[in-house]
Amino acid sequence: MSRSAVLRPNGALDPGPMAAILANHAIPGCELTDRAARVHTRLLSTPGGPRRVTVTIRSDDVQLTADTEDDGEFTHLVRTTRTWLDLDTDTGAVARAFDADPLLGPLVRERPGLRAVGYPEPFEAAIMTVLGQQVSIAAGSTFGGRLAAAYGSPSASGLTVFPTPRALADAPQEDLRSAVGVTRTRAATVQNVARAVVDGLVLDPEADPVALRRALLAIPGIGPWSADYLAVRVLRDPDAFTPGDLVARRAMGNPSIRDAGTLSESWRPYRAYALFHLWTSATYSAP
């Protein structure tokens, strides 16, 4: 049995970019996606275990279908999905904040309902961020699919459950490196993150962002870009920014990392939304 609900956003919704980011970052085996139809399926955690959900992104809302009969689980999945897809943010307030900005004003007027889509599973996000360092999005997704195939768990839904921190922390490093096809340094970073989580690091959106960033930067192999990216997409900090991001800087006119950070100061307190508009203007084309 499945349950379904229509999730209405707070303000406008731009469905094309939302579907695109889900499709572009989909992990083979763990997620099924149809960018043209704007349909995306994956597993989401609940207190009772992972449940298969499908989101259909429409022009004015998102339809959620979940494989559960339990009222509490379904309520949990609705809440998780709203946070994941950033449906509760008042996009009108973001648009008003950027309207007079010479760079962002035209972008917001073009896509007033652009939302800062996050990651629903923090550990998965951290590992995928490591695998995506200095490679294309497609390559990072391929690495993630190999990692899931080697160390994840099959589920009754037909989708693979992403590997647990313990599974990655305990894997022989050379076996992991060989299975995924990454460098020894990258494999080591994957395991460093997994071991940090096993040892008590909590990737919690409610955590103090300054303290968590410091903890992330203390992990060997995690640099400023990765920590900033996780602040945007996992911690859900609306004012987080990645001044070292190449795509964003290109959309800004190729400033230095220092200058990109300085330029972003005028976009507070919505710098994460500025980032999504920059990314989208640089990479998005409608299906």
**pLDDT tens digits, residue range 251-271?**
999 999 999 999 999 999 999
Assess if residue 191 is contained within a domain: yes
Specify if 100 maps to a domain.
no
Mean per-residue pLDDT of the chain: 95
Query: For residue 65, is pLDDT > 50?
Result: yes
What digits encode the pLDDT tens for the residues 136-191? 999 999 999 999 999 999 999 999 999 999 999 999 999 999 999 999 999 999 99
Count of structural domains within the chain? 2
> Is residue 278 in some structural domain?
no
pLDDT at 108 (0 to 100): 97
Looking at residue 214, its pLDDT comes to: 95
- Greater pLDDT, 206 or 212: 212
Distance CA 21, CA 184 (A): 29
167 in the same domain as 229: yes
CA distance 27 to 25: 6
User: How would you list the strands of the sheet with 3-7, edge to edge?
Assistant: 3-7, 62-66, 51-57, 39-44, 31-34
DSSP-assigned states of every residue in the chain:
--EEEEE--SS---HHHHHHHHHHTPPBTTEEEETTTTEEEEEE--TT--EEEEEEE-SS-EEEEES---HHHHHHHHHHHHHHTTTTS-HHHHHHHHTT-TTHHHHHHH-TT------S-HHHHHHHHHHTTTS-HHHHHHHHHHHHHHH-EE-TTSSEEPPPHHHHHHS-HHHHHHHHT--HHHHHHHHHHHHHHHTT----TTS-HHHHHHHHHTSTT--HHHHHHHHHHTS--TT---TT-HHHHHHTTS--HHHHHHHHGGGTT-HHHHHHHHHHHHH----
Q: Domain check: are 137 and 212 in the same one?
A: yes
Residues of the chain with pLDDT > 70, as a percent, come to: 99
- 214 part of a folded domain: yes
Same domain, 14 and 80: yes
The last residue of one of the domains, among 66, 88, 110, is: 88
As a whole number, mean pLDDT of residues 23-49 equals 97
**Predicted confidence (pLDDT) at residue 287 exceeds the cutoff of 80:** no
Same domain, 129 and 196: yes
Separation of alpha carbons 39 and 44, rounded Å: 15
Query: Which residues have CB under 8 Å from 222's CB, separation 6+?
Result: 130, 189, 192, 193, 216
Q: With cut-offs at 50, 70 and 90, classify the pLDDT of residue 1.
A: confident
Q: Do residues 139 and 207 both lie within one domain?
A: yes
Q: Which two tokens stand for residue 199?
A: 């040892």
Let me know if residue 16 belongs to a domain: yes
Q: What does the pLDDT look like over 232-243, one tens digit per residue?
A: 998 899 999 999
- Asked if residue 144 is part of any domain, the answer here is yes
**CA dihedral of 140, 146, 149, 155, whole degrees rounded to 10:** 10
Whether 130 and 55 share a structural domain: no
State whether 74 and 130 are in the same domain. Answer: no
CATH value at residue 51: 3.30.310.20
**What is the mean predicted confidence (pLDDT) over 54-74?**
97
pLDDT at 286: 46
Q: Is position 17 within any domain?
A: yes
Query: Do residues 133 and 213 share a domain?
Result: yes
pTM above 0.85, yes or no: yes
Whether 149 and 78 map to the same domain: the answer is no
Domain enclosing residue 36, as ranges:
3-88
Q: Are residues 70 and 144 in the same domain?
A: no
Supply the CATH number for residue 161's domain: 1.10.340.30
In sequence order, what are the beta bridge partners of 64?
5, 55
Q: Residues 83, 173: one domain? A: no
Q: Is residue 241 part of a domain?
A: no
pLDDT reading at 21 higher than 80: yes
Looking at 209, 233, 257, the residue that finishes a domain is: 233
Res. 109 pLDDT band, cuts 50 70 90: very high
Does 130 lie in the same domain as 73? no
Q: What was the pLDDT predicted at 207?
A: 83
